[in-house]
């Protein structure tokens, strides 16, 4: 019984509760999505793509409460892709 308890304790300690974000995976996703979003809907016209880009970079904290969701998503995606170097 002690062996099982020690095993479960060791297993619980070894697994992180919140894994650190994989920065390389984020960069790869943004390099793929940014050029697509640039061409979508005549240029940054897909709110869902823009929101996805903003969320990949900043989690759910990119939305400013006082602003319109779609305009904020567009601005965030545009700035991130163009100034973050993901348009290559």
The pLDDT value recorded for residue 18 is 57
| Number of Cβ atoms within 10 Å of the Cβ of 30 | 22
pLDDT recorded at residue 59: 80
Residues 69 and 63: beta-carbon distance below 8 Å: yes
Specify the residue for token string 């006082």.
Answer: 66
Do 3 and 22 meet the contact criterion of CB atoms below 8 Å apart?
A: no
Per-residue pLDDT of the chain (88 residues; tens, 9 = 90+): 566 665 565 655 565 555 566 889 999 999 999 999 999 998 899 989 999 999 998 887 777 666 666 678 888 899 999 999 998 7
pLDDT of residue 45: 92
Task: Show me where the domains of the chain are located.
Answer: 21-83
Output DSSP code: residue 61: G
Question: Does this model's pTM top 0.85?
Answer: no
């Amino acid at each position: 019984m002690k062996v099982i308890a020690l095993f479960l304790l060791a297993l619980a300690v070894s697994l992180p509760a919140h894994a650190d974000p994989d920065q390389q995976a984020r960069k790869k996703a943004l390099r793929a999505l940014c050029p697509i979003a640039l061409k979508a809907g005549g240029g940054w016209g897909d709110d869902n793509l823009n929101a996805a880009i903003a969320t990949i970079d900043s989690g759910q904290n990119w939305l400013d409460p006082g602003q319109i969701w779609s305009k904020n998503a567009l601005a965030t995606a545009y700035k991130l892709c163009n100034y973050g170097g993901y348009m290559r």
